[in-house]
Amino acid sequence: MSKPIDEKILKACINKDPKAQEAFYQYYSSSMYGICLRYSSQVEDAQDVLQEGFLKVFEKLSQFEGKGKLEAWLRQVFVRTALEHYRSNKLHLNLTGIEEIEEIGNEDFSMATLGQQEILQIMNQMAIGYKTILNLYAVEGYAHAEIAELLGISEGTSKSQLARARQQFKSIWFAKQGYKHGNN
Amino acid sequence: METTKHPLDSLLKEQLGNYSPEVPANLYPKIKSNLAAQQSGSVISKAAVIFKNASIVLKSSIIFSLTVPAIAAYFMLQNKQVDSNPGIVLEPSKASISEAVTLPEPMSSLTPKKAILPKIKPQNIKKAVAAEPVQTTQFQAEIGNKLESTSEQKVVQPVFKAQEITEKETPIAEPLETKSTWNGIEQTIETKSTEQLVIPNAFSPNSDGINDEFEINLSATLFYRLRIYHLNGTLLFETDKPSHHWKGTLQESGIQVENGSYRYILEYQLKEQPKPSMAAGYIYLNR
């Protein structure tokens, strides 16, 4: 992780100094935009979330008080903002109840060949609910209990959705492989 | 269920944990204007906080010492953005900010401050006007009784008319209800006999200027969502803007999909409709 922003800038941001706020934005916008994009199905949504998130951050920065890492706090704010945005814009989460999930064996896959761009392309083709779960669990490292609370679902649903999400990821990846090496 | 680390999870964490794409340069001005609006509202509370503080002088000196280099950084950034591809700005910008903060340079004059103030003022005026549409219409009505039409009235009138239309919104025709099932889910589709929703069943996104986009003739909608699915159920494209047409590519990555049929599901609500409607079907893509 990059080193935290200069404390002077942080203090000036708490005092709502416009120039410090802009410097703060320039410093963190790129990594926060990454989060926004990962949780959105459209670029426009991600940009809305980015703006919403920074307004929230500047408003609540004085409450942060140096508890824990600033970047971790920022990431949390942006993830929550993205989820809120998503909830208010989507009709339904498309999450089904607990069912028996058959895990595909992992040993067959050598996924180390997948690069960042390829992964992002696959994620963008996934159903938004699955993408969200996979992001929360795998990338952000939230526990099922936290995910359940964030999304307003049960822990069991979170687990089964995660398994389905992984399956969908793999099937899209395989489909892409087939397309690449197919007769086209 | 097990809690062992799945190989896919590790891969995603590794590849996406620090995902930091380029941010479009046009995003900050919007945030800035919103911040300016917020701040002007909280000036009084902010002043109170500062007076409570014993170290006013110290704080303001910090702010001042920060403002100058920050302004310098701001202008350096702007110059860079003009010169080069805005996408490449991010990495250099981090460096230039930290340099500018640690080594204050007196090279920038105070002129940038002038550039900031006018930006804030028009914002406030716009907010004030937008927040009190009722007052302006009342004012217009009073004048209307006494005077002939003036140029001022002409400006206000559209606002008043728009309000009248929204109040008159009532369903006129009886909706025709039909039920359809798809994937076992029962959907009620309401169609208005007066409404003419035309959804094409084929398009050819080959950039010849003819029928290149999957275009649905809806504009005045309260709610709109179009989703395009691959026949295997994968979501390929999703939008909530009627003006945003599908061009036969995967969203974001822009990769062209193959010729063939794709499933679309359109959810929309027209202004005169009391409930959202849904339409679904297949679109044939042939380049």
Within a domain: residue B16? no
Q: What is the CATH number of the domain that holds A81?
A: 1.10.1740.10
8 Å CB contact between A21 and B35: yes
* For residues A68-76, average pLDDT: 86
Confidence of residue B139 (pLDDT cuts 50, 70, 90): very low
The count of domains in chain A is: 2
Within a domain: residue B5? no
Phi, psi of B179 (to 5 degrees): -115, 140
> For residue A79, how many other CB atoms are within 10 A of its CB?
24
Arithmetic mean of pLDDT over chain A: 80
Within a domain: residue A19? yes
Residues A41 and A74 in one domain: yes
Please report the pLDDT score of residue B71 as a whole number: 60
ipTM passes above 0.85: no
Residues B269 and B194 in one domain: yes
Within a domain: residue A2? no
Within a domain: residue A101? no
The pLDDT tens digits of the residues spanning B190-214 come to 554 445 678 888 998 888 888 888 8
Which residue, chain included where needed, has tokens 């269920």? B1
Q: What is the CATH number of the domain that holds A134?
A: 1.10.10.10
The pLDDT tens digits of the residues spanning B56-77 come to 445 555 555 555 555 665 656 6
Asked if the model's pLDDT at residue B131 lies above 50, the reply is no
Residues A67 and A13 in one domain: yes
Say which residues have a Cβ less than 8 Å from residue A119's Cβ, sequence separation at least 6. Answer: B11, B12, B15, B16
Within a domain: residue B150? yes
Please report the pLDDT score of residue A53 as a whole number: 93
Q: Say if A23 is an interface residue toward chain B (CB within 8 Å).
A: yes
A window 102-161, beta carbon within 8 A of B: 106, 109, 111-112, 114-116, 119-121, 124-128, 134-135, 137-139, 141, 159
Residues B138 and B90 in one domain: no
Please report the pLDDT score of residue B90 as a whole number: 43
Within a domain: residue A29? yes
C-alpha span between B231 and B131 (Å, rounded): 47
Q: How many interchain CB pairs under 8 A, A with B? A: 186
Q: Is A23 exposed, middle or buried (0-12, 13-18, 19+ CB in 10 A)?
A: buried
Within a domain: residue A96? no
Q: Domain containing B74: what range?
A: 24-124
Arithmetic mean of pLDDT over chain B: 64
C-alpha span between B179 and B245 (Å, rounded): 27
DSSP code string of A87-151:
HHH-S-----------PPPSTT--GGG--HHHHHHHHHHS-HHHHHHHIIIIIS---HHHHHHHH
Q: What is the CATH number of the domain that holds B278?
A: 2.60.40
Asked if the model's pLDDT at residue A183 lies above 80, the reply is no
Task: Give the closest of A47, A125, A166 to B235, CB-based.
Answer: A125
Are B97 and A26 a contacting pair at CB < 8 A?
yes
- Give how far Cα B243 sits from Cα of A48, A111, B170, B268, Å: 18, 38, 26, 13
**% of chain B beyond a pLDDT of 90:** 1
Asked if the model's pLDDT at residue A170 lies above 80, the reply is yes
Within a domain: residue A105? no
Are B30 and A22 a contacting pair at CB < 8 A?
no
The count of domains in chain B is: 3
Min mean pLDDT across A8-17, A49-58, B119-128 is at B119-128
Q: Domain containing A85: what range?
A: 7-89
Within a domain: residue A54? yes
B window 158-187, beta carbon within 8 A of A: none
Asked if the model's pLDDT at residue A143 lies above 90, the reply is yes
Please report the pLDDT score of residue A100 as a whole number: 42
Residues B110 and B210 in one domain: no
More confident residue, A82 or B105: A82
- CA A169 distance to own-chain centroid: 15
Asked if the model's pLDDT at residue B268 lies above 80, the reply is yes
Q: Say if A7 is an interface residue toward chain B (CB within 8 Å).
A: no
Q: Which residues of B touch A172 (CB under 8 A)?
A: 234
Within a domain: residue A81? yes
Residues B120 and B59 in one domain: yes
The pLDDT tens digits of the residues spanning A77-96 come to 999 999 888 776 554 444 44
Please report the pLDDT score of residue B103 as a whole number: 43
Please report the pLDDT score of residue B162 as a whole number: 44
Asked if the model's pLDDT at residue A108 lies above 70, the reply is no
Q: Give the single-character DSSP code of B88.
A: G
Please report the pLDDT score of residue B32 as a whole number: 84
Residues B106 and B29 in one domain: yes
8 Å CB contact between A76 and A135: no
Residues B281 and B183 in one domain: yes
Within a domain: residue B6? no
**% of chain B beyond a pLDDT of 70:** 43
Say which residues have a Cβ less than 8 Å from residue B167's Cβ, sequence separation at least 6. Answer: none
C-alpha span between B11 and A116 (Å, rounded): 9
Which residue, chain included where needed, has tokens 């700005």? B89
Distance from CA of B217 to the nearest CA of A (A): 22
